[in-house]
Structure 1
């Protein structure tokens, strides 16, 4: 891969090329699933940030960590900053935002980690090691093998960097690596590009200064106490607002990144790091939906697509699919036809068999699944009218399986 220009880092990554490479062809059913949550419990970008992003002196270890706070508040800051660039709830209906769409909120929690992990000295080997330690979600392997026996195709679609999860798939043996579709994350290529142009020290200094300022804010506006055997950190509301402002200054003013159509039309970001971030076509909300539909067209057809996810960044895909399951996540359940709360993904096979049988009524599928599962899992109708007690059941299960600090 060339490193002469930031645009070179993202070439060969179109959605069509990703879908073609999955080799999902046939006449059967297709399950297009989020990877983190339904298939694997880890979030190796969040784990890398938590481990690597600390004050120079080490700081005070507590939960949430410095990296977890930076990850969460940067996501909220950027999402709020680009709210006007998106249709409500990601729907295709309704008036488009003025100036048309941009790449707003497309995998932002992933791509904005790239400058920070570069500044912290992370490399591909480190990220791959974290990914390989990701445990499979309970029952995911049995679910995947059951789908294979049924003649279904399973594809994993993630906002996370693609290659580490392909290594995980190759190691586990029950998920075909070419059917893991994710985002570019050019750590090595970005460093080579910056060094080639003599910008490494200057632009890394911007990221390192942001990290110093952010960690000082967290230290100054946090309280830490013991909760049993766990050191807990409470970061104040005022601190969160100041940290979000500092992040906005970092990406807007210091790196010069813009997602406003008019501003982007006037030229690229003034920094090489900014141009690299802008050039990376992330697999985010809409891209997940586009990939699922594209894979379905190559497989058994749109009417044989089932989408599954556990987060807000799966919502567009869940809404677009004819059949969809929001598993262990209230945002996903509100977007999906069917909600499922379970600690064993084998329970989803009951739903897949009912859908495959030709049952076309959502309520009938839910009723039959409840009868088959008894009290082993909660199955309910999805949509915006989700009962508060069901929302809480989803939150509790997500927290139990994936930990307290999951951004989506």
Structure 2
């Protein structure tokens, strides 16, 4: 790490994170995404929705300025990084030209750091949002059933791990050390910018971007009243312009690169850019690597089940011997088994059958369907999943997590 980044908490490498998780040898392991299967809150999205708005003249509507900035920023970030990913997300496929950095895979988290820093959000605020995150219905009972079955449970997330560790300490049914996520050094980044005399100049750069982005939203939106709610329609032309403005801000103004080869030959033009590049985020491939590493420390890879509800869980779901895509079409397409349920107590039914039935996916699905009797929908996952099943996943995800889930 560069000398001017010394003292920045970057999360450590994956091996260090694994060693701190306290996984015991023996038995089965469920490695799950945190947001969706375990908790319904997405405190980064909530913080952006609340904090990001014009300095003056803001019009409150749904979706909010922050929700649009989050959704379009996520889409732009994924478009930038997709060409640098391995085609199938696995180690056997050819590496992309220039190499790809794990640091940029936690895209929904890392692009928010400069925005929340300039908006005045602090670590305590994020922790308060995390503490308000509701448990997914049945998640606590699921954890208790897993413990009775002799299973270990770990949560892997792209989100900052410390706020969620505070949340699981409060709930008591998941060990805090088993929440593995990303660093999000708000306080340390501010201290570093101030120490180097860069605070005003670089936060002004962020605020200029936010002013431009909010102006684009205002110019390309239509507002109407829907009952007692003011709604906002943001046009497709506006979305394209906003994504271009996002890309210009991160690529050119902050000077962030997503390519390992490019990073090796230059230093980002801004300190904020260097801070973002220094943080070892947990993203798609890192989630998979953490799940496999935890399994090796437990009962071995043949006793690993992974679970997730989003596109950023796909690599983790594909690489595990058994996987469950719950309440998310992208996750179900990547997983061995799809589950649509509003109660996580249905998950241990699948896990017990997985224990008993070796590699017979059809037997597990058939027996689960018979046992659950319509209380939850169980089907075979994979790319051939029907659009009817995909829509059932989308409906349940909206029911549990709200209208504006990004992925």
TM class, shorter-chain normalised? over 0.9
Match of residue 307 from structure 1: 306
* Larger displacement relative to structure 2 (105-114 or 11-20): 11-20
Q: Secondary structure at the match of 2:8?
A: helix
* Larger displacement relative to structure 2 (283-292 or 97-106): 97-106
Q: Distance in 2 between matches of 1:58 and 1:3?
A: 42
C-alpha change, 1:369 and 1:278, in structure 2 (3 Å) is same
Q: Distance in 2 between matches of 1:309 and 1:223?
A: 35
- Which whole-Å deviations, capped at 9, do the CAs of 1:144-190 have from their partners, x for residues lacking one? 01001111100000000000000000000101100000000000000
Q: Distance in 1 between matches of 2:5 and 2:284?
A: 23
Match of residue 161 from structure 1: 160
CA contact under 8 A between 2:159 and 2:182: conserved in structure 1?
A: yes
CA contact under 8 A between 2:103 and 2:282: conserved in structure 1?
A: no
- Residue 392, structure 1, aligned to residue 391, structure 2: yes
CA contact under 8 A between 1:7 and 1:276: conserved in structure 2?
A: no
Q: Distance in 2 between matches of 1:3 and 1:275?
A: 9
CA contact under 8 A between 2:341 and 2:375: conserved in structure 1?
A: yes
Deviation at 1:263, TM superposition (A): 2.2
The residue correspondences of 1:1-400 to structure 2 (distance < 5 A) are: 5-6=4-5, 8-11=7-10, 13-57=12-56, 59-103=58-102, 105-400=104-399
C-alpha change, 1:262 and 1:14, in structure 2 (3 Å) is closer
Deviation at 1:407, TM superposition (A): 1.5
Deviation at 1:342, TM superposition (A): 0.2
Scaled by the length of structure 1, the TM-score of the pair is 0.97
- Which whole-Å deviations, capped at 9, do the CAs of 1:386-406 have from their partners, x for residues lacking one? 111000000000011001111
Deviation at 1:265, TM superposition (A): 1.9
Deviation at 1:58, TM superposition (A): 5.2
Structure 2: runs of 5 or more not aligned: none
Scaled by the length of structure 2, the TM-score of the pair is 0.97
Structure 1: runs of 5 or more not aligned: none
Q: Distance in 1 between matches of 2:192 and 2:40?
A: 33
Deviation at 1:120, TM superposition (A): 0.4
Q: Secondary structure at the match of 1:27?
A: coil
CA contact under 8 A between 2:223 and 2:231: conserved in structure 1?
A: yes
Q: Distance in 2 between matches of 1:105 and 1:264?
A: 12
Q: Distance in 1 between matches of 2:55 and 2:87?
A: 41
CA contact under 8 A between 2:28 and 2:151: conserved in structure 1?
A: yes
* Larger displacement relative to structure 2 (259-268 or 322-331): 259-268
Deviation at 1:236, TM superposition (A): 0.4
Q: Distance in 2 between matches of 1:81 and 1:313?
A: 15
* Larger displacement relative to structure 2 (56-65 or 161-170): 56-65
Deviation at 1:267, TM superposition (A): 1.6
Q: Distance in 1 between matches of 2:256 and 2:133?
A: 32
Q: Distance in 1 between matches of 2:270 and 2:308?
A: 36
CA contact under 8 A between 2:338 and 2:379: conserved in structure 1?
A: yes
Deviation at 1:359, TM superposition (A): 3.6
CA contact under 8 A between 1:82 and 1:104: conserved in structure 2?
A: no
Q: Secondary structure at the match of 1:380?
A: strand
Q: How many residues are aligned here?
A: 407
Deviation at 1:103, TM superposition (A): 3.4
Q: Distance in 2 between matches of 1:387 and 1:322?
A: 22
CA contact under 8 A between 1:329 and 1:398: conserved in structure 2?
A: yes
Deviation at 1:100, TM superposition (A): 2.7
* Larger displacement relative to structure 2 (79-88 or 120-129): 79-88
Q: Distance in 2 between matches of 1:94 and 1:16?
A: 23
- Which whole-Å deviations, capped at 9, do the CAs of 1:290-325 have from their partners, x for residues lacking one? 000000011111111000000000000000000000
CA contact under 8 A between 1:32 and 1:155: conserved in structure 2?
A: yes
